[in-house]
A and B are shown apart, each in its own frame.
Chain A
């Protein structure tokens, strides 16, 4: 179904504008069958029932449905509104979100080109399904959206700090550099830094520096439920750390999720044929609300 990919691109844009409506019409929802018959299909409404028993110890592995995939995902907490430094305010002044400017007026690199969302926006905005796997010395998160993966090192290494222009400096990355540790049998804490400054933290364009420090606290509540609470600290951009929200995940019974790629050529075609001709939204006074998903926006 080729149209699914075009639809996916449209949804990527439209979800930012009219979130609740767009999400209700995603390809997954449209393809929801009366009964699950294929082991190869993702059925977002085929949700796990009950708690599934106690949480396994030190284990997040499996395939999970996340915020926006189905109403049965518990409501989380949206991101807070950060207080920006003058530098961040200056950057924000140059960023045009889809929500304020529409597909024709935005300069959101994902909405305009399908550039990777990067971390942490891939959690804050769009993580309807993912898998988690344990591999040698690392935990790997594998996302439905974009088919991207991210690794979290668990071998005790320290987070890198040098992202300068020295010979041995590390390059900033879209996914960042991450280390994780089990705080106890059910709480896995991940620290991430080294994020490419081109990526937006939230849909409104909130910026970050390469030295931003994001902390995730994953809690395996029971077999079928886990949640993550995220905070970001970046003195260059914010006057104090703030919460990026709390998001819940539920076990997918058949452990199968979809492939949902943002295809650049389709996005360009959409913008040329539909988005741009529709015109940009009139510029309205900024009303910054933070970028997290809110109750009712599933």
Chain B
């Protein structure tokens, strides 16, 4: 059972490189054993009870059965950013000679994934976890992956209009977020002020610090929740687009494992295995 973190990182590198199917089809394509809704996700008693009102608290498995993109056409500024980014698997394309292009994915060195890319689980199981909780005036979301957290303010404050200018806050990998209940079962989170270095997705689409990302969590019943993530970023895209739709399922034991991408392991892997194997990596 040792070294799960290293496995996680290896998985990150190997899965996108070898399996576009895994990303394109999520977890739905795998064989699901009896008693499970998906591999590694125990089934809760049926039928589920009704969804509690205005309450997402607890630990959830996901995203599952997700669909990513497609991204909207980019503006020239967006295209300029995008062409500088070299994913391990840029939409399944390879160079003319059949090789993968050299990747400069920042997660190679375990740089922070940032939001919203961190919503997609990078573990080999393609299974992540989210813990919803609360503190005064805010909803907290703690993620299994990288063990990072976000806070969603619910006190009615407006999002910052600008970042990275005098008097305004600095942009952040996980942005600034406010949330509200649209009705008793749908919680909507709006986020902006994102750092522009992280990739918005696996293929390297860009995000500007003025991008507005919206998450809609709809609690369908006691054990099921649906998530839709949309991106509105006129600086880089010609129109808003849906970055992800996915399902979340109630985590039976409500406990997370610890899933870190450890930089020293990632860098050792890059230098001792990836480079000698011939997969090009850009520093």
Q: A131 to chain B: which residues have CB within 8 Å?
A: 135, 140, 151
Shortest distance between the CB of B162 and any CB in chain A (Å): 10
The closest CB in chain A to the CB of B104 belongs to A265
Q: B103 in the interface, Cβ–Cβ < 8 Å?
A: no
Q: A29 in the interface, Cβ–Cβ < 8 Å?
A: no
Q: A182 in the interface, Cβ–Cβ < 8 Å?
A: no
Residues of chain B in range 125-159 having any CB-CB distance to chain A below 8 Å: 131, 133-137, 140, 142, 147-149, 151, 153, 157
Q: B254 in the interface, Cβ–Cβ < 8 Å?
A: yes
The closest CB in chain B to the CB of A169 belongs to B1
Q: A31 to chain B: which residues have CB within 8 Å?
A: 170
Counting chain B CB atoms within 10 Å of each CB, which of A5, A137, A267 scores highest?
A5
A interface residues, how many (CB within 8 angstroms): 52
Bitwise, A93-135 to B at CB < 8 A (1) or not (0) is 0000000000000000100111110000000000000010111
CA distance A255 to B157 in the complex (A): 13
Q: A74 in the interface, Cβ–Cβ < 8 Å?
A: no
Tell whether, in the assembled complex, residue A113 and residue B267 are in contact, meaning their CB atoms are under 8 Å apart: yes
Residues of chain A in range 243-285 having any CB-CB distance to chain B below 8 Å: 255, 258-259, 261, 263-265, 267-268
Tell whether, in the assembled complex, residue A1 and residue B133 are in contact, meaning their CB atoms are under 8 Å apart: no
Q: A113 to chain B: which residues have CB within 8 Å?
A: 262-264, 267
Q: A231 to chain B: which residues have CB within 8 Å?
A: none
Shortest distance between the CB of A79 and any CB in chain B (Å): 25
Tell whether, in the assembled complex, residue B151 and residue A135 are in contact, meaning their CB atoms are under 8 Å apart: no
Our pick among B137, B173, B176, B258 for the contact of A40 (Cβ within 8 Å) is B176
Q: How many A-B residue pairs have CB under 8 A?
A: 123
Segment of A17-25, A65-73, A170-178, A211-219 in the binding face: A170-178
The closest CB in chain A to the CB of B267 belongs to A113
Q: B172 in the interface, Cβ–Cβ < 8 Å?
A: yes
CA distance A62 to B171 in the complex (A): 23
Tell whether, in the assembled complex, residue A147 and residue B258 are in contact, meaning their CB atoms are under 8 Å apart: no
Q: B193 to chain A: which residues have CB within 8 Å?
A: 40
Shortest distance between the CB of B273 and any CB in chain A (Å): 17
Q: Is the interface of B mostly helix, strand, loop or mixed?
A: loop
The closest CB in chain A to the CB of B259 belongs to A173
Q: A49 in the interface, Cβ–Cβ < 8 Å?
A: no
The closest CB in chain B to the CB of A1 belongs to B170
CA distance A142 to B1 in the complex (A): 27
Tell whether, in the assembled complex, residue B135 and residue A133 are in contact, meaning their CB atoms are under 8 Å apart: yes
Asked, given contacts A142-B140, A169-B1, whether A135 binds B167 with beta carbons under 8 Å apart, the answer is no
Q: B160 in the interface, Cβ–Cβ < 8 Å?
A: yes
Q: Is the interface of A mostly helix, strand, loop or mixed?
A: loop
The closest CB in chain B to the CB of A175 belongs to B258
Tell whether, in the assembled complex, residue A39 and residue B260 are in contact, meaning their CB atoms are under 8 Å apart: no
Bitwise, A54-82 to B at CB < 8 A (1) or not (0) is 00000001110000000000000000000
Q: B24 in the interface, Cβ–Cβ < 8 Å?
A: no
Tell whether, in the assembled complex, residue A142 and residue B142 are in contact, meaning their CB atoms are under 8 Å apart: yes
Asked, given contacts A149-B142, A263-B112, whether A135 binds B131 with beta carbons under 8 Å apart, the answer is yes
Tell whether, in the assembled complex, residue B58 and residue A136 are in contact, meaning their CB atoms are under 8 Å apart: yes
CA distance A167 to B2 in the complex (A): 11
Tell whether, in the assembled complex, residue B109 and residue A38 are in contact, meaning their CB atoms are under 8 Å apart: no
Our pick among B58, B148, B197, B254 for the contact of A149 (Cβ within 8 Å) is B148
Asked, given contacts A136-B254, A268-B109, whether A171 binds B160 with beta carbons under 8 Å apart, the answer is no
Q: Which residues of A contact B (CB under 8 A)?
A: 1-2, 4-5, 27, 31, 33, 37-41, 61-63, 109, 112-116, 131, 133-137, 140, 142, 147-151, 165, 167, 169-175, 255, 258-259, 261, 263-265, 267-268
- Complex A-B: 16 CB contacts under 8 Å: A37-B167, A39-B157, A113-B267, A134-B133, A135-B133, A135-B140, A137-B254, A140-B131, A142-B151, A147-B112, A147-B173, A150-B147, A151-B142, A261-B173, A264-B266, A264-B267
